[in-house]
Amino acid sequence: MTETLDIQVTKTSNSKLPGIDFDNLAFGRTFSDHMFIADYKNGEWTDLRITPYQNLSISPANATLHYAQSIFEGLKAHKNEHGEIMIFRPEANAQRLRKSAERMCMPPVPEELFMEAIESLVLLDKDWIPNKPGTSLYIRPFQFADDPFIGVRPSETYKFMVLTGPVSGYYSEPVKVKIEKHFTRASKGGVGSAKTAGNYAASLYPARQAQAQGYHQLVWTDGKNHEFIEESGTMNIMFVINDTLITPPTSDSILPGITRESALILARDWGLNVEERPVRVDEVIEAIENGSLTEAFGIGTAATVSHIAVIGYEGTDYKLPAVENRTISNRILDSLTRIKLGQEEDRFGWIRKIG
């Protein structure tokens, strides 16, 4: 990396902001005026720059297009009542990106570069941060191989980029999910703990099949015998059984979610019973049938908490208790939302204020 973070800024001459309908934001379809780019070559990150949002020009032989050497992160920025910009746990995202890079044989992005890229870009496009309830500025850092070379080996050149865009909630209603017993999101020894593009590509076909059957998403199970629950769609998953918050432990087939970790910290701080342990499919179905399972939800950056209303398993749809009666997941959602907005004390040092 260069000795000083000298980021060259080229501002757009034609902002798209006046044409944005902030009352009707779709997740992942609207992007702010600018983007950050850095190039990795000759063993260092160089040419740090912010440019107007635009298409890229790459070689048809670009290594990522052929061998999927690509990783990314996702985090959000909000404004508090004083107009201060608040980003939730960006240091944790920087650390996870470095771990993903290690697994995918990519050079790490130093935390200083990661943070400076995000802060400079968000400050430049601060007027894009929406202020309506349930909205935020989504931040997407990502890194990909850039060699114009067709050959199976780690690339020697890379790009690190950051995009931002205003978003509303990822899921607007409780979801209907199906427990997957054939396809696998990730397996032991694989890259499930890395936030890499291929994991998501592998999930598309089984997810589409589930959607054709009337489900929003899948509950992924282990790749060996499909006996243990691992994740829910693109999120970690949690259950409340007998007033205990239970979630599968992270592993090389489960992504270490930052929102997941935050929820567990809060729950333990509140004195709740918390268990990180393997969760058997049969245990969940039995708990639904005997009434001891009172809550099930996905948890992640995009949705924070996504309540599960129905779980489908082997041809039967099991309806879960009403969302309004769920005390733990609603408390987690409310507390995380209030911390992100500066409405609740940040006792864990999660918020980074910029500007």
Q: What is the chain's pLDDT, residue by residue, as a tens digit (355 residues)?
A: 445 589 999 999 999 999 999 999 988 999 999 999 999 999 999 999 999 999 999 999 999 999 999 999 999 999 999 999 999 999 999 999 999 999 999 999 999 999 999 999 999 999 999 999 889 999 999 999 999 999 999 999 999 999 999 998 776 689 999 999 999 999 999 999 999 999 999 999 999 999 999 999 999 999 999 999 999 999 999 999 999 999 999 999 999 999 999 999 999 999 999 999 999 999 999 999 999 999 999 999 988 999 999 999 999 999 999 999 999 999 999 999 999 999 999 999 999 999 8
User: In total, how many domains does the chain have?
Assistant: 2
Residues 140 and 81 in one domain: yes
Residues 161 and 18 in one domain: yes
Residues 139 and 232 in one domain: no
pLDDT recorded at residue 4: 59
Residues 119 and 231 in one domain: no
Give the Å distances, CA to CA, from 131 to 80, 136, 192, 274, 346: 9, 7, 34, 34, 20
Residues 154 and 244 in one domain: no
Using the 3D structure, point to which of 106, 141, 167 is the last residue of a domain: 167
Task: Specify if 310 maps to a domain.
Answer: yes
pLDDT digits (tens, 9 = 90+) for 100-133: 999 999 999 999 999 999 999 999 999 999 999 8
Question: Which residue range forms the structural domain that includes residue 209?
Answer: 175-340
Residues 180 and 327 in one domain: yes
Task: Specify if 222 maps to a domain.
Answer: yes
pLDDT digits (tens, 9 = 90+) for 274-290: 999 999 999 999 999 99
Residues 324 and 215 in one domain: yes
Residues 93 and 118 in one domain: yes
CA geometry: angle at 351 spanning 99 and 138, to 5°? 70
pLDDT recorded at residue 6: 94
Write the secondary structure of the chain as one string of H (helix), E (strand) and C (coil). CCCCCCCEECCCCCCCHHHCCCCCCCCCCCCCCEEEEEEEECCEEEEEEEEECCCCCCCCCEHHHHHCCEEECCEEEEECCCCCEEEECHHHHHHHHHHHHHHCCCCCCCHHHHHHHHHHHHHHCHHHCCCCCCCEEEEEEEEEECCECCCCCCCCCEEEEEEEEEECCCCCCCEEEEECCCCCCCCCCCCCCCCEHHHHHHHHHHHHHHHHCCCCEEEEECCCCCCEEEEECCEEEEEEECCEEEECCCECCECCCHHHHHHHHHHHHCCCEEEECCEEHHHHHHHHHHCCEEEEEEEECCCEEEEEEEEEECCEEEECCCHHHCHHHHHHHHHHHHHHCCCCCCCCCCEEEEC
Question: What CATH number is given to the structural domain containing 262?
Answer: 3.20.10.10
pTM of the model: 0.95
Task: Specify if 292 maps to a domain.
Answer: yes
Residues 141 and 240 in one domain: no
pLDDT recorded at residue 170: 73
Task: Specify if 351 maps to a domain.
Answer: no
Question: What CATH number is given to the structural domain containing 88?
Answer: 3.30.470.10
Task: Specify if 349 maps to a domain.
Answer: no
pLDDT recorded at residue 355: 83
Task: Specify if 332 maps to a domain.
Answer: yes
Task: Specify if 346 maps to a domain.
Answer: no
* Token code pair at residue 9: 């800024």
Task: Specify if 121 maps to a domain.
Answer: yes
pLDDT recorded at residue 1: 43
Using the 3D structure, point to which of 132, 150, 167 is the last residue of a domain: 167
Map tokens 């160089």 to a residue. Answer: 46
Using the 3D structure, point to which of 124, 139, 167 is the last residue of a domain: 167
Residues 39 and 156 in one domain: yes
Give the Å distances, CA to CA, from 173 to 102, 169, 207: 37, 9, 18
Map tokens 């009337």 to a residue. Answer: 214
Residues 33 and 107 in one domain: yes
Residues 84 and 185 in one domain: no
Euclidean distance between CA atoms 160 and 39, whole angstroms: 6
